[in-house]
Amino acid sequence: MTAATGKARPEDDPGELAVEYPCWRIWQSRPSGLWWATRRGNIQYHHQPRHPGWGITVGGVVTLAELAILLIAQREIDVISAPQG
């Protein structure tokens, strides 16, 4: 699967998506079988040093293609919210 197309093939596995999104942990819940991705990061306040502590989970979808679409959206949010300098 490529995140650019979001198209899944029967032989797709979460490892392919994990390679495209190395900061994310791809996992499948039990017993529902829904796909999720989780990542952790740091909190940055205006004039304070970074502090570890935030996490985000996206997903709750049936296919890896759907998860890829959510991760594409997260990548776009990261670009928009990146500090300008």
Q: Where are the domains of the chain?
A: 14-42+51-80
Q: Say if pTM beats, i.e. exceeds, 0.85.
A: no
Predicted confidence (pLDDT) per residue in 57-66, tens digit: 999 999 999 9
Q: In this predicted structure, what is the pLDDT of residue 11?
A: 41
Predicted confidence (pLDDT) per residue in 15-45, tens digit: 999 999 998 999 999 989 999 999 977 666 6
- The burial class, CB within 10 Å (0-12 / 13-18 / 19+), for 20 is middle
- The burial class, CB within 10 Å (0-12 / 13-18 / 19+), for 69 is middle
Average pLDDT, the chain: 80
Q: Tokens at residue 62, please?
A: 């049936």
The CB-side HSE value for 45 (13 A sphere, CA atoms) comes to 6
pLDDT of 85 above 90 = no
